[in-house]
Structure 1
Amino acid sequence: MNNSNVSNIKYTPALFTSKHLLDYTAIDKDMDFSLVIFYTYCCIVKLIAHNITDVRLLTNDLFNNHNRQIIPKLDMKAPVNVSMSFSLISVYELDVKNQLLSTSVAFKITWKDEILIWNPADYNGLDQLTVTLASIWKPDVIMLNSVSSQKKLSPNDDDDNYVTITRDGFIEWWVYVNLKTHCNVHMTNYPFETQMCDINVTKSYLDDQSEILQSVDDSLSLDNFVPNGEWQIFPIHSFDQIFFRSNRKISGLQWRIKMKRGRTFYTWNFLMPSISLSIADCFSFLLPAKSSDKLGLSIFVFLANAVLIRLFNDSMPAISDDISLFGVLLWVNILVSGLVIVMNIVITSLFYCKSPKIICKCCDDFTECCKCKLLTKCCKPCFEQEVKKKERRTFELSEFQNAQKEKKEYASIKHGDISISINEGIDQTFIHHRGMKIQLGTIADFLDVKERIEWSDVSRNIDIMATLVIFVAYAILYAATLSELLHE
C-alpha cells in the first residue's frame, strides 16, 4: 500500500453513510481494497451500537432508586399534563332497556416523566426504552360512567401493560379496553332515533394541582372503526368537562358518540305490520253484517296490535323520562281497533233489528245522501228518474187526500168473513173480522213499502261511512307520527 495515499485520507467521527460508500471511487485507485471493507464494518457497528447490555445498564440507572409512587415533577407545584387520545374501534350494543353502551375503544395516553431522562450518547445511542407499566408512575385516570366494578383503565397488576419511554422523558401508553358505560337514552323517536352517548374520564384521587387531563383532538376520525350493522357512527367530539367530587370541582374529559339507528329492521318488523293491520281494520266494515268474519276480523286486528305492543315494550325500559312516539302510535292503533269492534257489534245489531218504525229522520236523510242518484246529479238519466219518482208519489198522495175529503173508502179486500179496508181518510188501515176492528198502520206505510228504509240499509250505510272515517283517521295519525319520527 502506498503510505502517501493513505496519509491523504481524512478520518471523521461522523457516521459512515451510504453517501460515503459511494464516494469510494474518489479514493486513489492504488488504495488497498481492505480499507474499504474496514469502513463498511465501522458503519455496521455504528448502526447497531446499542445491545442488550446497554438496555440493562440504562434500566439499572433509571430505576435503581426510582419510586413510582412519587409524581414525576421536579417542580412539585406544577401539575403533570396528561394528554389523552380516544379511538373508537367497535360498538357492540346499545342496550336501550338497561341504558348501557358496550364498546371497544383504544386510549393513547402520553405524559412527561422529568425523572426518567437520559443522554443517548452514554448508552451507545439508545434513545427509547420499553418497560412495564408497573415500573413507573402512571396517571390517575378512571372511567366515571362505567357500570363495571373496575373503573380504572388497567387493573392493579400492571405487569401486563407496557409503555414506551423516550430519552426526553415522554411516555406513551396504549390501552385497549372493552367498556360498558351508562348512556342516557332518549326514547322520543325510538326506534328511528339518533342517540348521544358520552364516555366521561376524570381523576379518582389527584386534584387539578397535581394532574391535568387534556384531549389531543377536539374531533376524532373513525379510521380504525369496524362498521356496525345497526348503528351509523358520526365523528366523535371531545369536550373539557367539570365533575363534582366531595363538593369539589374536578376537571376531566368527555367524548361524545353520536349514533343513528338503522331503520330497515324496525321498518319491516314494526312499522309495516302496524300499517297492514290498520288497513285490515278499515276494510273490516266492508264485510257483510251477516258474515261471521266481520267481527272476527276486527278481533284478530285487536289481538295482533296487542302482540305488537308487547314485543315493542319488551325492548324499552320500564321507566323512562320521555315517551316513544311510535309506542303512542301503537297504543292509539289498539284503541281504534277496539272502537272498530264496538262499531261492528252495533252495526251487526242494527242489521238484525226488526222495528223499522224507530228509524229516525236523520237515518232516512243519511240513507238518501248515500244513494248514487243524489250523489251523481250530474248524471242526467238518474236525475230525471228521481224527478219522475217524486211526481208519481205526489200524484198518489193527492189522490188519497181527495179521498180523505170525500170520506170515501179507498180500498177494500174481502175474503170470507175477513175484510181489509182503508177508510176514514188516508191515515188509517183496518182489518175487520167478525165485528172486530184491528188497526194495522198508516197509509203512508202502505204507499212507501218499496221506498221504506230498513235497518239493513242503515247498517250498510254506517259501514261505508265508518270505512271512510277510520281510513282518514289512520292516514292522519301515521302521517303526523312518521313526519315527526323521521325528521332529522
Structure 2
Amino acid sequence: MPALPSSLVTSLLYGFSLLLTLLNGTHAGTHEKRLLHHLLDNYNVLERPVANESDPLQLSFGLTLMQIIDVDEKNQLLITNIWLKLEWNDMNLRWNSSEYGGVKDLRIPPHRLWKPDVLMYNSADEGFDGTYPTNVVVRSNGSCLYVPPGIFKSTCKIDITWFPFDDQRCEMKFGSWTYDGFQLDVQLQDEAGGDISSFITNGEWDLLGVPGQRNEIYYNCCPEPYIDITFAILIRRKTLYYFFNLIVPCVLIASMALLGFTLPPDSGEKLSLGVTILLSLTVFLNMVAETMPATSDAVPLLGTYFNCIMFMVASSVVSTILILNYHHRNADTHEMSEWIRVVFLYWLPCLLRMSRPGQESYECAPIPGVGGNSEKAKQLNDVELRERSSKSLLANVLDIDDDFRCNHRCNTLPHNPTYYRTVYRQGDDGSIGPVGGGPGRIHETVSHTCLSSSAEYELALILKELRVITDTLRKEDETSEITKDWKFAAMVVDRLCLIIFTLFTIISTVAVLFSAPNFLL
C-alpha cells in the first residue's frame, strides 16, 4: 500500500481533532442549558435564599480601588473608579456537577437572581447607583460572586485648613438599603481594608491607604441593628504644582515690593510699582479663591500667606506715600518739629548706621540740647566769616584797605576829611545789622576814612544792598538745609521700612510654610 503524503496526514489529524472539539462543546452546552432550566425555571428573585427565614444571610463585602478620578474641592465631591466585591451563598443555586457533565460554575445576569441591595449611602451621583450590572458567577456549592465596577461620586467634607499641604479623609459608606442586621449580616471581607494592588497613581494626590470598618448601629426607631461597611480613602495632596505656580511667584512679587524701597523717590515710579505689585497679588489670590469651597469653616494656609504678603505690600504703599511726602517737603510749606528731628535725624540714623554725605563715620549725631555751645560757637564763626567777607567786598568797592586807612586817592580830594564811624549789632540768630534794637553783641568799627558827604550816602546804599544780599544768601542756605533734612528723614524712613518689611516677609514665609504638618514630607 503506498504511503500517504505528509500534508494529507496532517489535514486528517486536524479535521479529526476539530470534530472531537465540536462534539465535546455540543455535549457541554447541552448540560449547561439543562442546568440553567433546572435552576431558574422555579427560581424567585424576591426570595431571600436561606434555609431558615430566622437566620441572617452572610454577605462578605469588599472593594478594589482602581483610580482617583477627581477631588472636587469646590463642590466637595470625590470621584473614583471602584470595583465592588460581594459574596454570598444561595441555597437555591446548588447542583451536583457530575450530573450535569462536569459544569462547575455559571454566569447569570443579576436581574435573574436574588442579590443584596447594597448601595453607597453618601452617593452624589445623578442615578445614585453608579455600578454596572455585570454577571454573577455561581458555583455548584451555591456561592455567588458579584463584582460590579462603577464610577462612584461620593460626598466628602474637604478640610482646607492646610491647603495646599493638606491630607483628606473621604469616607464611602456601604450597606443594605432595606435589610437589617437580623436578615443580612454584612461582614468586611479583608480586615486591612480595600484592595489597592491595582491602583493607578494620580497626578495630584498620593494614596495613603483605604482602611475599612464594620459598623453596627441601633437607631431609636427600630430595635434591629443596621450594619454598614465604611471605607476611608486617605489621600495627600502633591504640592509641587502649587509650590512652583503659586508660592514661588508670590515670594518673587513680595521681593519686588521690597526692592521698591531701594528706588529713588525722584524716579517717579516708586508709588506705581507698589500699586502694581498689590494688583498682581490680588490676581493670585483670586486664582486660589476659585479652587476653594465657599466655606467659612476655615481659611486655607495659602490664603493666609497671601493675605500676609498683601498686607505687607499695602503697608509698603502707605509707607511709600509717607516717604514721598517727606522727600518733597521744604521750608516754605513745612516746619520740622523737634520730635521728628530727634527721631529721624539722630536716633534712627544711629541705629540704622546711616550717615550723610561727607560724614566720615557712623557716629551718632548730637541730640539738640546736648553740646549746644559748640553749635552756637559754629554759628558765631559763620557770622564772623560773613562779616569779614562783607567788609572785604566793601573795601574793594570803595578802593580802600581792609583796615580803612586812606589810600593815595584820599590825599587828592579837595574836601576836608571827615571821620566815618559805623556801629553793627549781631543778633542771637546770627544776623548782622546796624544798631537799632534787640539784644545782641555790639561790633563797633571806626574808620578814619577821608570821605565826602556824597561818598557817605553812596556808602550807606552799598551797605544796605550788601545786607539784603547777605540775608538772602543766608535764607537760601537755611532753606537748603531744611530741605536736605527732610530728604534725609525720607531716606531714613525708606531704610527702616526696607529692613522691617524684609524681616516680616522672611518670618511670615517661614512661619506659614513650616506650620504645615507635611511640608517637609
Q: TM-score, normalised by structure 1?
A: 0.77
Q: Does 1:271 align with 2:247?
A: yes
Q: Distance in 1 between matches of 2:296 and 2:379?
A: 75
Write the mapping of 1:321-336 to structure 2, written as runs, cut at 5 A: 321-336=297-312
- Partner SS, residue 248 of structure 2: helix
How many angstroms apart in 2 are the aligned matches of 1:195 and 1:161? Answer: 32
> How far did residue 84 of structure 1 move?
1.3
User: How many angstroms apart in 2 are the aligned matches of 1:458 and 1:402?
Assistant: 27
**1:400/1:92 CA distance change after superposition, 3 Å:** closer
1:125 aligned residue: 102
Structure 1 pair 134–430 and aligned structure 2 pair: CA distance change class (3 A): same
Deviation at residue 247 of structure 1 after TM alignment:
4.0
Residues 249-260 of structure 1 aligned to structure 2 (within 5 Å):
250-260=226-236
Match of 1:473 in 2: 504
> Residues 85-113 of structure 1: CA distance to partner in whole angstroms, max 9, x if unpaired?
21111111101000011111101110011
- My pick for the range that moved more, 318-327 or 100-109, is 318-327
CA 1:195–1:424: 2 relative to 1, 3 Å: same
Query: Structure 2 matches for 1:18-29, cutoff 5 A?
Result: none
Q: Per the alignment, do residues 123 and 349 of structure 1 end up closer, same or farther by CA in structure 2, a change over 3 Å counting?
A: same
Give runs of aligned pairs for residues 131-150 of structure 1, distance below 5 A: 131-150=108-127
Q: 2:92 — aligned with what?
A: 115
State the distance in 1 between where 2:52 and 2:180 align.
16
| Cα distance in 2, alignment partners of residues 168 and 386 from structure 1 | 99
Cα gap change, 1:319 to 1:450, in 2 (>3 Å):
closer
**Cα drift, residue 274 of structure 1:** 0.7
Relative to 1, partners in 2 of residues 1:119 and 1:343: Cα closer, same or farther, differing over 3 Å? same
| Conserved 8 A contact 1:141-1:201 | yes
Q: 1:192 aligns with which of 165, 172, 175?
A: 165
Q: CA RMSD in A?
A: 4.2
Residue 205 of structure 2 is matched in structure 1 by 231
Indicate the residue corresponding to 2:429 in structure 1: 427
Kindly indicate whether the alpha-carbon contact (under 8 Å) linking 1:428 and 1:440 is maintained by their aligned counterparts in 2: no
CA 1:187–1:242: 2 relative to 1, 3 Å: farther
Residue 271 (structure 2) aligns with: 295
Distance 1:244 1:298, change over 3 A: farther
Per-residue CA distance 1:107-153 (angstroms, 9 max, x = gap): 11100111211122222322212211111100120111111133336
Instruction: Measure the CA separation in 2 of the matches of 1:317 and 1:146.
Output: 19
Work out whether residues 403 and 426 of structure 1, in 8 Å CA contact, stay in contact via their aligned partners in 2.
Answer: no
Normalised by the size of structure 2, how large is the TM-score?
0.72
Q: Where do 5+ consecutive residues of structure 2 fail to align?
A: 1-19, 395-422, 435-459
Deviates more, 1:109-118 or 1:449-458: 449-458
Q: Hey, what's the Cα distance between the residues in 2 that align with 1:217 and 1:364?
A: 77
Residue 52 of structure 2 corresponds to 75
Map of 1:162 onto structure 2: 135
Contact 2:330 2:482 in 1 (8 A): no
Superposed CA offset, 1:266-325 (max 9, x none): 111110111011111111111011111111110111000110111110111112422112
Structure 1 residue runs without a partner (length 5+): 1-42
CA change 1:445–1:233 in 2 (3 A) is: same
What's the counterpart of residue 367 of structure 1? 345
Structure 2 counterpart SS, 1:147 = coil
- Give the distance between the partners of 1:386 and 1:186, measured in 2 at CA: 54
**What whole-Å deviation, never above 9, does each CA across 1:443-484 have from its counterpart, x for those lacking one?**
999899879951110001111110000010111111111011
Structure showing greater radius of gyration is 2
Q: Taking structure 1 as reference, are residues 58 and 396 closer, same or farther at Cα in structure 2, changes over 3 Å only?
A: closer
1:400–1:117 CA distance, 2 compared to 1 (3 A): closer
Shift of 1:346: 1.2
Equivalent pair of 1:199/1:256 in contact (CA under 8 Å) = yes
2:83 — aligned with what?
Answer: 106
2:216·2:227 contact (CA, 8 Å) conserved in 1?
yes
Hey, what does 2:514 align to over in structure 1?
Answer: 483
Cα separation, partners in 2 of 1:48 and 1:449, compared to 1, 3 Å: closer
Q: Could you say which residue in structure 2 is the equivalent of 1:31?
A: none
1:26 aligned partner: none
Please tell me the residue identity of whatever aligns with 1:484: S
C-alpha contact 1:109 1:173 (8 A) present in aligned 2: yes
